[in-house]
Structure 1
Amino acid sequence: MAGFNELIKNYEKIRDYLRDFHIYGYKCRNDFGSRSGRSYDNERRRIENYLSGYIGHDNSVRGKKLFITADTVDLEENPLFITWMTKTFTKNDIMLHFIILDILSIDEGLTLNEITDIIVNDYLSIFEDIKIPDNMTIRNKLKELTGIGFLHSIKKGRTLQYHINRQGIDSLSKDTIDKLLHICGYYQNVFPVGVLGNFIRQRVDNSIVNKPLFSFRHIYLAHTLDDEILLNILMAIREHRNIEFVSTYRRNSNIKVKVLPLKILDNVSSGRRYLAAYNNKYKRYGTYRIDNIKEVVIEDIDDSYDSHVENLSERSEKSWGVTIFNGKKLEKLEVTLIIADDEGYILKRLHREGRHGTIEKISENTYLYSIEVNDVNEMVPWLRTLIGRMISFRCSNEIVEKRFLRDIDAMYEMYGG
């Protein structure tokens, strides 16, 4: 029976567990019912090893609850970045990585056959009972090292000659490196696929890595769990290609979806990120939560990309959140508010946050806010912050209106009128 191994082959193995521990933090072992107890114990041990110092626990009658805890104000970088440095590797992977780089650091411009001969005769011949890697294994390793930028190849006749890629950080001055590291310190916590900025910082000698200049009030730590998915989507968008992925938005269900990705939408209030895309099968635009996407496969080029991007922009003009207009009638909302003379800041807030809605003064200290949107339901969290000033609430979506008024009645019963 194979023993416990801290390294993993596929990041998807721990992605859901990390999200559960970070975002929810209330689940016990028995709450992971669809997964075996041994699987849970193995992933828990891995995560506790990766994030030592950031794991908290609480005991209840239901059992021990684990959660990831961190004060973002004190963080220089996202602690979840370390989970990307856990990929398993074979003996050949690590051996050929260093041997090939050592060979080409001495004698560049070598072909596959020349590199193979040197590996066999000069490096491995002194060992007994060692399995000699074949040409195909070495060819694949050279291709991998070229793909990730360690090497570059030049075609001479029908053969490829390999060189170490020396155009990198070694050619930069210390002052330039320091400035780039500060940029990476900002990038890693703010921009999409921030783990790349962190990897660059890790590649540089620690003696010249300065303390980051930036402190962040809000960092969405869990975003990095989707970095590999997001990177593949962004590559497809850049090349105007369709993608196929597995969607897990329904509990215990995996649905294959093929779409043309158009844009990434970032909800700055909730922290959720969405893919806006066109579904050719159903001839409609839609959004997909990126944290519910896995196994992205980049497919064929779609020549209709530009026209769909233009259509998306037009259909999103009346969006409050991420809902895209697909021919359904726009929903109308009217809210009457009381705003005192000394509460000008409330009016400023309405103008600032009210998107494309209009504000009309209908009497002394009384204002009417009206708007037409694709989905009024997306406005409810924002509308709740104005409840104390509302005189009336009218909505063309009767379901949303009744639920909103019912919630206010429940609040009165709970706290008193």
Structure 2
Amino acid sequence: MRADEGLQAYCGKDVLPMAFNELIKNFDNIRQLMRDFYVFGFKSRADFADKSARSYDNERRRIESWLGEYMYFRQNAGGKNCFISVDSRKIKHNPFYKALKAKSFTANDIMLHFFLLDILQAGVKLSLRELMARLDEDYLYCFAEQMTLDISTLRKKLAEYEQLGLVTTEKCGRELYYQRSSEMVDLAAWQDAVSFFAETNQLGVVGSFIEDKLPAAGEVFSYKHHYLLHALESDVLLDLLAAMEQKQAVRIESCTSKGRSLSLRVLPLKIYVSTQSGRRYVLCWYFKAQRIIFCRLDNLEGVLEAEPAPDYDRLYALAEQLEQKLWGVSLKSKAAQPALEHVELVVRIRAEEPYILQCLEREKRCGRVEKLDAGRYCFTADVHDAGELLPWLRTFIGRIERFSCSNKAVEEKFWQDLAAVCALYGVEKAGEA
């Protein structure tokens, strides 16, 4: 087989046409479809009237090729709903990483990849012009149809490979010489660490790419809480982290629950991860409103137009001051310096229940615990949104002696919920529990 025949077969020109192309150029469209249609599972085909039947079917089959074993269907009055159902305790590898590994490439991309790595054998060091000459003389001449390659294309490809760590450069006089990277890592020795990183780290997709290079091995980890949807936000998170490291302001493209698009100029300051749902947020300074806001990463479509932010240190210090009074990610007030709500909780803890006091101390995110007398403890906190404490406070029901809040709506909500629980169990008054 001639070199050109092999290349054409690899690029799919001499094989039977497929019904759809599994590779993608733009991840944003796939990410939105996977969220709205397959992940949340509440939309039917009729909800995608803005897409042509062909586009819809191609994207659906593309996702099915990655996630087919986890896909299910539910028929209702609105039509057939597709959704993904997984048992996170049984899944050892995040299936959503497959979508991030399906980037399309051109014939020149794949051609240059193999040609360059073939030329740059161990110990070979060549300049840009020498590489160009070798390509022309030893490789491109093999094609039946004359192929031309621009030197600027080769320079860009080498710069990309240098950034990826595939090649290194060395300046000799006025010439820049390229050679294959000689860094060798014993990946097998890191197999368990890479496997754990891939499923637990915020950018675990990096570990998943490395894991693909390792031989199959027995699974040593199982996860009680396995947050799979992180994979769909990996590129957005990486761009936010890069902006934070460089102290840059960015424009974020966000999609609301109603399908509207928002464009906000912000300064990303910190990333927050929920210990309950795994959902991720970015705390940022919103320039237009002149205040701090939280944005959910699963609503972000892109991070664009990064530029230096001279006031970064001052705004970061403001964020650190604000987070001292945060319980979750809710900032009810739209003021630059939001008002605080005061919470007091008195609980009774028997001598044989020291673990209750440990929970009170360990689980509080802010505030303080003080001993009133034998068996009575008081938790107090000043927070931005007292309503966020309610789920945690309810875990102490049965031991609560007194609860008060400066936000009376929150206090009433707490007692109403407690009364509803008592009624459910046939207790007329909370004090009789």
Q: Which amino acid aligns with 1:93?
A: D
1:328 aligns with 2:338: yes
For the residue of structure 2 that corresponds to 1:197, the secondary structure is helix
Q: Percent identity?
A: 37
**Alignment deviations for residues 165-210 of structure 1 (CA, whole Å, 9 cap, x no partner):** 12133xx4xxxx3332221111111112111011112134x2xx53
Give the corresponding residue for 2:164: 148
Counterpart for residue 382 of structure 1: 392
- The aligned counterpart of 2:360 is 350
1:228 aligns with 2:235: yes
Aligned twin of 2:383: 373
**Is this contact kept in 2: 1:22–1:222, CA < 8 A?**
no
Task: Check conservation: 2:67, 2:95, Cα contact below 8 A.
Answer: yes
1:394 paired with 2:404, answer yes
Residue number in structure 2 paired with 1:124? 140
CA distance in 1, matches of 2:206, 2:43: 31
Gap change, CA 1:406 and 1:140, over 3 Å in 2: same
Pair 1:10-2:63 in alignment? no
Specify the alignment match of 2:70 in structure 1: 54
Indicate which of 200, 203, 206 corresponds to 1:196. Answer: 206
Moved more, 53-62 or 373-382: 53-62
Measure how far apart 1:10 and its partner are. 1.4
Task: Identify unmatched segments of 5+ residues in structure 2.
Answer: 1-17, 428-433
User: Could you tell me which residue of structure 1 aligns to residue 307 of structure 2?
Assistant: 300
Equivalent-residue separation in structure 2 for 1:197 and 1:164 (angstroms): 23
Counterpart residue number, 1:166: 182
SS at match of 2:225: coil
Q: TM-score, normalised by structure 2?
A: 0.83
SS in structure 1 opposite 2:319?
helix
Q: Distance in 2 between matches of 1:390 and 1:23?
A: 39
Q: In the alignment, is the contact (CA less than 8 A) between 1:55 and 1:67 conserved in 2?
A: yes
SS class of match (1:346):
helix
The number of residue pairs the alignment matches comes to 407
Deviation at 1:220, TM superposition (A): 0.5
Picking from 145, 148, 152, the partner of 1:136 is 152
Cα distance in 1 for partners of 2:44, 2:416 equals 33
1:272 to 266, 273, 279: 279
Inter-CA distance 269–137: structure 2 relative to 1 (3 Å threshold): same
Residues 27-36 or 177-186, more deviating: 27-36
Query: Are 1:21 and 1:68, in contact at CA under 8 Å, matched by a contact in 2?
Result: no
Choose 289-298 or 264-273, whichever is displaced more.
289-298
State the 1:338 CA deviation. Answer: 5.8
Secondary structure of 1:79's partner? coil
Secondary structure of the residue aligned to 1:105 is coil
**Residue in 2 that maps onto 1:180:** 190
Gaps of 5+ in 1: none
Q: 1:120 to 1:199 in 2, by over 3 A?
A: same
Residues 85-115 of structure 1, C-alpha deviation per residue, up to 9 Å, x if partnerless? 1111111111111111111127722222222
Counterpart amino acid of residue 152 in structure 1: T
Shift of 1:401: 3.8
SS at match of 1:52: helix
Aligned counterpart, 2:9 = none
> Which is further off, 374-383 or 13-22?
13-22
Following the alignment from structure 1 to structure 2, what is the Cα–Cα distance between the partners of residues 288 and 354?
24
> What whole-Å deviation, never above 9, does each CA across 1:265-291 have from its counterpart, x for those lacking one?
111112111111223443322221111
